[in-house]
C-alpha cells in the first residue's frame, strides 16, 4: 500500500473553490481501481493549508489516477494554490 500526501497552500479568497475541487477529486478517485481511502484535513496553525492523505493499493493505481486526471480540462488547479506539494510513502506497517 502507498499513501499519497498532498499539502496545498490556498490563495486568499480561493478556499471555497479549492475545497470544491479537492472534494470533487476525491469523488473521482473513488472510482479508480486500487483506491482505498482519502482524508482531507486543515491545519490548525495555518488555515490556508489543506492536506490530503490518500491510500492506494499500489503506486500503479495512483499513476492511473494521475493519467485520468490529466484528461480532464476542468481540473486545472494552478490558480487556486500558492503552492502544492505531493509526496508518496510506502506503508511498512499499519495498526488500528
Instruction: Using the predicted structure, report yes or no on whether residue 86 has a pLDDT greater than 80.
Output: yes
Give pLDDT, residue 74: 58
pTM above 0.75, yes or no: yes
DSSP state of 46: -
* DSSP H helical ranges for the chain: 15-29, 59-70
Domain boundaries, the chain: 2-90
Q: Strand 35-42 relative to strand 81-90: parallel, antiparallel, unpaired?
A: unpaired
pLDDT tens-digit map of 22-46: 999 899 999 999 999 999 999 999 9
| Of residues 75 and 15, more confidently modeled | 15
What CATH number matches the domain at 2-90, 3.30.70.100, 3.10.129.10, 1.10.3720.10, 3.40.605.10? 3.30.70.100
Q: How many CB atoms lie within 10 A of CB 43?
A: 12
Amino acid at each position: 500500500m502507498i499513501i499519497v500526501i498532498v499539502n496545498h497552500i490556498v490563495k486568499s479568497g480561493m478556499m471555497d473553490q479549492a475545497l470544491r475541487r479537492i472534494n470533487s477529486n476525491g469523488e473521482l478517485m473513488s472510482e479508480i481501481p486500487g483506491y482505498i481511502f482519502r482524508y482531507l484535513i486543515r491545519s490548525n496553525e495555518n488555515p490556508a493549508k489543506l492536506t490530503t492523505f490518500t491510500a492506494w493499493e499500489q503506486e500503479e493505481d495512483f499513476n492511473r489516477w494521475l493519467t485520468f486526471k490529466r484528461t480532464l480540462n476542468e481540473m486545472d488547479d494552478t490558480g487556486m494554490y500558492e503552492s502544492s506539494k505531493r509526496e508518496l510513502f510506502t506503508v511498512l506497517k499499519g495498526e488500528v
